[in-house]
């Protein structure tokens, strides 16, 4: 796991959306799922 600043995350999101073609909604869904899984694991 890498820790990034909010500016770095914004740029990573932008590049993922524009260059890879993953919709922002899919990124948010994946992030929410990962957080929920981590909470359950704790």
Query: Does residue 1 lie within any of the structural domains?
Result: no
Query: Does residue 26 lie within any of the structural domains?
Result: yes
Query: Does residue 34 lie within any of the structural domains?
Result: yes
Query: Does residue 25 lie within any of the structural domains?
Result: yes
pLDDT in tens, 1-13: 799 999 999 999 9
Does residue 37 carry a pLDDT above 80? yes
Query: Does residue 22 lie within any of the structural domains?
Result: yes
Q: What is the pTM of this model?
A: 0.74
Which residues fall within 8 angstroms of residue 22, CB to CB, at 6 or more apart?
16
Q: Which domain holds residue 15?
A: 6-41
Q: What radius of gyration, in Å, describes the C-alpha atoms of the chain?
A: 12
pLDDT in tens, 15-28: 999 999 999 999 99
Domain count, the chain: 1
Residue of higher predicted confidence among 36 and 1: 36
Burial label for 30, CB within 10 Å (0-12, 13-18, 19+), is exposed
pLDDT reported for residue 36: 98
């Amino acid at each position: 796991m890498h820790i990034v600043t909010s500016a770095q995350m914004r740029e990573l999101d932008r590049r993922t959306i524009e260059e890879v073609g993953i919709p922002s909604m899919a990124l948010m869904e994946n992030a929410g799922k990962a957080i929920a899984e981590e909470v359950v694991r704790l």
